[in-house]
Structure formats: C-alpha cells, structure tokens
Amino acid sequence: FGSHNLRSLAYAVVTAREAGIPDHGYELQMLYGMAPAVHAAVRRLGFRLRVYAPVGELVPGMAYLVRRLLENTSNESFVRRRFKEGAELEALLAPPRADPLPELDPPSRPEATDPAAAGEYQHEPVAEWRRAGVRSAFGAAVERVKLGLDVAAFIDGHPVGTKTSIVSVDPGDTAREVAVSASCARAEADAAIEVAQRAWPAWSRTPVPDRAAVLFRAAEWMRARKADLAALQVFEAGKPWKEADADVCEAIDFCEYYGRQALRLGAGAVESPPGETDRLSYRGRGIAAVIAPWNFPLAIPTGMVVAALVAGNAVLFKPAEQTPAVASGLVSALKAAGLPDGVLAFLPGVGEEVGSYLVEHPDVSVIAFTGSKAVGLGIVEAAGVHRSGQRHVKRVIAEMGGKNAIVVDADADLDQAVPAIVNSAFGYAGQKCSACSRLILVDSVADELLRRLVGATRSLRVGHPREMGTQVGPLIDADAHKRVLSYVELADDEGTVFFHDDDVPSSGFYVGPTIVTDVSSRSRLATEEIFGPVLTVLRASTFEEALALANDTDYALTAGVLSRSPARIEQAAAELRAGNVYVNRTITGAVVGRQPFGGYGLSGVGTKAGGPDYLLQFVDPRVVTENTLRQGFAPGE
C-alpha cells in the first residue's frame, strides 16, 4: 500500500487483517524524505516498509513530488490537526463524516413570457454527475423511457399519417425498436408548403419580442423534461448519458441565445441625419427548409429551426431518418410554447426523396442543412438552379464534414494531451463533425505519447449507453458500421493497426476504438471523413511540418494544438486552417454563444451556428428612408 495518509494506511491494514492476510504478507511504501516520523511509526508497529525514490525525468518528477507534498501539508491532515491544533484523538479517529453534496437549486430565471426581462444569455449547465441525486434521476429516466413510439408528421398543427413509414431501432441493441415514424412524400411536402405560404406573412409581422418569447418558452419546456429528452437519445441515437445530456443543454442554449439575438438584431445600426429618418430592419425570407443530421439529434435541428423561426420564416423541418422520435421533441416543445400552427411543419422522410424535393421547390427560399459533404454539395448545386415561378435566389447554409487534426508539440504536457485526444477522437464513438480523426505528432514526443494513448484508449468502456459508465457506444446504423469496419480493414493495407479493441458487444453496431499508424498523409485513412472511432496518426519532424500536414485537407472545421510554447501556440492559432481552433483542450464540445461553431473550405458555407451573425442568414435586410423636412401631414388616418 503506497500512501502517506495515516487514515488510509490504517484502513488498508485493518482490511488486510480482516481478509486474513498476515502483516508480513504485503508491504507499505513511502517516499524517501517524506514524513519520516510516519516511516518510524509504522516500522515500530512491525510493518514491512519500503522507502522509495522516483527515478526519471525532472519535470514530471517535480510534479509528482509537489503532489505528494500537497497531500502531506494539507490543512485537513491528521498529523497537522493533532500536533498543531491539538485535536482530540477521539475526534481524529472517528469515521469521517460522509458529507453528501447538497442538492442545488436550479438558477433562477426570469419569466419566459417577458422577453424584455430576459436578461443576459446564460449557458444551460450540464448535469453534475458527482451528485447522487442527478445520477439517480437520470437513471430513472433511462429506465422509464417509452419505446415503440409512433411519430407522426405534423402539418398545420395536426398529425398526419403517411403511406410508408420509417423504423428507427436502438443501434446498441438492434432487436429493440424505438419508433415507427411517418415517411413524407411530395404530397405531404406540397400540403405543408401551401400551409406555410398562408401562415408566413402574419408570422413575419409578429413583433420580434413575441417570436422570441416562443423560443424562451420552448427552452423552458425542454428544461423541465431534460432527463427524459436525453434518455430517449440514449436509445435512438446511441448516446452515452453525458453526451445525451449535453445535447439537450445545447438545444436549450440555442433557444435562449437566438431569442436574445433576434431582440438585438440591427439595433442602432444606421444613423439618421437631421431631416431624415433611416430605419434598417430585417424581414424573414419566407419558407425555410431545415434538413438535419442524427448525430446531435435535438440540438442541431433546434438551432436551425428556431433561428429560422425567430427571424420570421415559416419552417419545413425534415429530421434525419435515424432519429425521428428525438426530433419530434422539438416540435412538441414549440407547440407547447405557443407557436402558431401553420408556421412549422414536421416532415420526417427519406432525404433523397422529400429532402431533395424541398430543396428544389421554387417556394423554398432558405435551406439550412447540416450533414455530409456529398449531400451538402448536391444541395448547393440544386439550389443554384432557378425554377419557374421562383422569385428569389435560394440561400443555402450548409454545415458539412471534417477531417480534423490535433497537433502535438514536442513540449506538450502529455498528462493533458492524452485525455484531450481520447475525448476528441472517441467521444460518441467519433461521430461528431468536430471529432479528431488525425493526430499529428512531432517526432520527439511520438513514441511516449502513443504508449500512453494506447493505455488510455484501452481503458475506455465500450458498451450499451444505457449503462452510466459507458464511454463508447455503438455506431448509428448498419451502413455506418459497415463503412467504419471497411476503414479498419483498409488500415492493414495502408498502415499499421497500432491498437484495435475488438472486444465489443455483438448486439448492436459496435466498433471498438482504433489507432492507426504508419500511413501516408495522402492515404484514404488520412484524407476521408470516417465518422467513427478510428484515429489516424501522422508524424512530423518539426512543428512547422506538423502544421502543414494538419492543413493538408479539403476540410476546415476544427483543429487543435497541444503545446507549452506561447510562440508556437500563437503560430498555430494563426495558421491552422479551421473554423474552430482549440488550444490545449479537446476539439469537441463547442458551447453556444462562447465558441460559435462551423467551418469553411469544404466543411461548410454560411456563418457560425451559435454566433452573433447566424440569424442574418435567414433574413432580407430592408432600409426605409423618410424625408422628415418641411413635411406637412394630411389630417385623418
């Protein structure tokens, strides 16, 4: 037992004795020069003591010694309290009080119906899993999730059945059906467009504070059902608890943030000289089609839908085929928040059918899409064609994929680097557009980092996300499973499979974390988006070469650098070609209003989600200039 803590040592000794282990059957270990009085005391009691000294590099060694020193000089220390404060032995020997963490009151928020009092935007706090109450509440929500749901389309506020349907299954246990959803075709799309045409003018004239209030009420609705909304994602999207909770928080954030942004839009943007009034205002563009992915099944659709709505558009929302039940939660939230019926249609269906029909429809003027590069580029192309009866140029906001790199500098703090890389590469099984899929190591640090990285990756728990301890869940569907496995096979041809966990459950679409080395920078593994837990490692002889490798991609979504050199951090921040650059941390987990998110290059077109410019993409700006000089007004109206 290695400890300088007397209470821990006493506990270990008693436990060993209770287990029938003789006192000479183990040894105690203490550091040379640390707490010699304790060394003497345990020797006097007849225990075997090994006194050791750490051997190795100076910097990690210093960190190690400082940690030990802090432990042994703590104000709570047994020794200090006895000898400095004269505490009674009785009190010191009493079992420690298990102080349960107090339950926290949720932060008070202003009444959602009063946008004027909305106050500053506050990020929705993620669950604090260290609190027992939070864990058991979430566990209960996971246990009570209702599956076998029926998800209808919604047009003009009414559920609509369709001829065909889509089944969503639990990707972690494919025998379990989560929902059967409607599958809309042209007929439903046409009906929804007709309703939207009628509903849009009144909605676009609705005062902005009233539109914003709908978003604030929707946020409140989601907040009150946070655990249930997240628990459904555990089954329909295969999200581990932490990721599912974060997704719902982000959805709430989008409502709170865009509601406030709408209230500020354009305020004070133009000046009026004497004798003239100039007013800049923004009007919704008309009908927006929102086409969403499954990987942030509530947050991403919420962001796109509520931005379009609060900017004064009617919305046709097509969720991903894999997650219709989660997406329908957004429709319920907005309905409960009092959104007028015709303003939002919910059109689950097949992307290539109803999705592309919406894209091409002459009455749709904005398309907000998040998904793959191939589909995004197809949408940009289709939207560029002018069709008969179309009185606008379609605007496309397309957030697409990435092939994101983390660069590890020679002097990086590996204690910090390893968890940052593991979380970025394998969180949600690598199914985040922001995930790290290329790791670029400066040669001198490569071997040591890889050794530690493999250890940390091996310890990840792969399994069904209904278990709280699961860190890596399944891939979303059979196609993804097949595709990612094909890259794992390819890794043998293109490089070396340095680590692959094949001890995964067979009940679902699981692929274990995989690390591939010795690949060329132009190989498929190093250039194609895999969207799974496969990390490709490249080496560089200098930091400059590492940055050049990181930038050698068509995408420009996220990138990271791990370094302790201020000059090289500055260089990387300036030179890494990515919409979001992260320094000495994970490259995933952008927060609305703090890290506006989105890429350029072939990662996307349009400005950043969760940022101050986002709403401008959904509006037409108008300026009204009035001559107020020598103006006699006519009496009457």
Q: Which of 213, 227, 229 lies closest to 106 in space, CA to CA? A: 227
Contact call for residue 477 and ligand NAD (CB under 6 A): no
- Determine if 364 is a binding residue for ligand NAD (CB under 6 A): no
Among 138, 531, 582, 614, binds ligand NAD (CB under 6 A): 531
By CB under 6 A, tell whether 240 contacts ligand NAD.
Answer: no
Residue 349 sits at the vertex; the CA angle it makes with 347 and 351, to the nearest 5 degrees, is 115
Q: Pick from 578, 527, 580: which is nearest to 556 by CA?
A: 578
Q: Which residues of 237-274 are buried (b: 16+ CB within 10 A; e: fewer)?
A: bbbbbbbbbbbbbbbbbbbbbbbbbbbebeeeeeeeee
Segment (H or E) for 291: strand 287-291
Taking CB under 6 A as the criterion, the residue among 255, 414, 433, 556 binding ligand NAD is 433
Tokens representing 2 are: 């290695």
User: Are the C-beta atoms of 162 and 181 separated by less than 8 Å?
Assistant: no
Q: Would you count residue 399 as binding ligand NAD (CB under 6 A)?
A: yes
Query: Under a CB-based contact definition with an 8 Å cutoff, are residues 87 and 93 in contact?
Result: no
Which residues are paired to 149 by β-bridges? 179
User: Which residue among 297, 401, 495, 610 contacts ligand NAD (CB under 6 A)?
Assistant: 401
Smaller CB distance to ligand NAD: residue 355 or 513? 355
If one asks whether residue 295 binds ligand NAD (CB under 6 A), the answer comes out as yes
CA distance 294 to 576: 28
238 sits near ligand NAD (criterion: CB under 6 A): no
Least Å distance, CB 612 to ligand NAD, is 17
Window 571 to 600, contacts with ligand NAD (CB under 6 A): 598-599
Q: What are the C-alpha distances in Å from 209 to residues 250, 258, 292, 408, 622? A: 22, 12, 27, 47, 19
527 binds ligand NAD per the rule CB under 6 A = no
Q: Does 141 bind ligand NAD (CB under 6 A)?
A: no
In this complex, which beta carbon is closest to ligand NAD, that of residue 342 or of residue 604?
604
Q: Residue 350 burial by CB count (10 A; 0-12/13-18/19+): exposed, middle or buried?
A: middle
Taking the complex as a whole, the smallest distance from the CB of residue 356 to ligand NAD amounts, in Å, to 4
Structure tokens at 567: 């000059």
396 binds ligand NAD (CB under 6 A): no
Determine, following the binding rule CB under 6 A, whether residue 228 of this chain makes contact with ligand NAD.
no
Among positions 352, 502, 570, 613, the unique one binding ligand NAD when judged by CB under 6 A: 352
351, 463, 508, 532: residue in contact with ligand NAD (rule CB under 6 A): 351
Q: For residues 308 and 288, is the Cβ–Cβ distance under 8 A?
A: yes
Known catalytic residue at 399: yes
348 binds ligand NAD (CB under 6 A): no
**Rounded-to-integer distance, Cα 209 and Cα 403, Å:** 40
Return the HEC string of 119-171: CCCCCCCCCCCCCHHHHHHHHHHHHHCCCCEEECEEECCEEECCCEEEEEECC
Concatenating the DSSP letter of every residue in 341-383 gives GGGEEE----IIIIIHHHHH-TTEEEEEEES-HHHHHHHHHHH
342 contacts ligand NAD (rule: CB under 6 A): no
Among 450, 442, 447, smallest CA distance to 418 is for 450
Residue 382 CB, nearest distance to ligand NAD (Å)? 7
505: number of CA atoms within 13 Å, CB side? 17
Q: Does 320 bind ligand NAD (CB under 6 A)?
A: yes
Using the rule CB under 6 A, is 559 a contact of ligand NAD?
Answer: no
Tell which one of 115, 297, 402, 589 touches ligand NAD (CB under 6 A): 402
Residue 424 is a binding residue for ligand NAD (CB under 6 A): no
CB-closest chain residue to ligand NAD: 351
- Per rule CB under 6 A, is residue 236 in the interface with ligand NAD? no
Name the active-site residue from 433, 528, 575, 626: 433
Q: Are strands 496-500 and 395-399 parallel, antiparallel or unpaired?
A: unpaired
One of 124, 220, 243, 399 is an active-site residue; which one? 399
Smaller CB separation from ligand NAD, 400 or 449: 400
Identified binder of ligand NAD from the candidate list 188, 243, 501, 529, rule CB under 6 A: 529
Contact between 236 and 146 under an 8 Å Cβ cutoff? The reply is: no
Q: Of 375, 396, 405, 441, which lies in the binding site for ligand NAD, with binding defined by CB under 6 A?
A: 375
Residue 371 binds to ligand NAD (criterion: CB under 6 A): yes
Shortest Å, Cβ 367 to ligand NAD: 9
Strands (E), 471-549: 496-500, 514-517, 534-540
Least distance CB 608 / ligand NAD (angstroms): 9
| Shortest separation between residue 251's beta carbon and ligand NAD, angstroms | 14
Q: Residue 247 is encoded by which pair of tokens?
A: 């997704």
Q: Work out whether 294 is an interface residue with ligand NAD (CB under 6 A).
A: yes
Name which position in 77, 183, 370, 553 contacts ligand NAD (CB under 6 A).
Answer: 370
Q: Does 292 bind ligand NAD (CB under 6 A)?
A: yes
CA 410: distance to chain centroid?
29
What does the binding site for ligand NAD look like in residue numbers (CB under 6 A)? 291-295, 300, 318, 320-321, 351-352, 355-356, 359, 370-372, 375, 378-379, 399-402, 433, 529, 531, 557, 598-599, 603-604
Q: Which residues are catalytic?
A: 399, 433
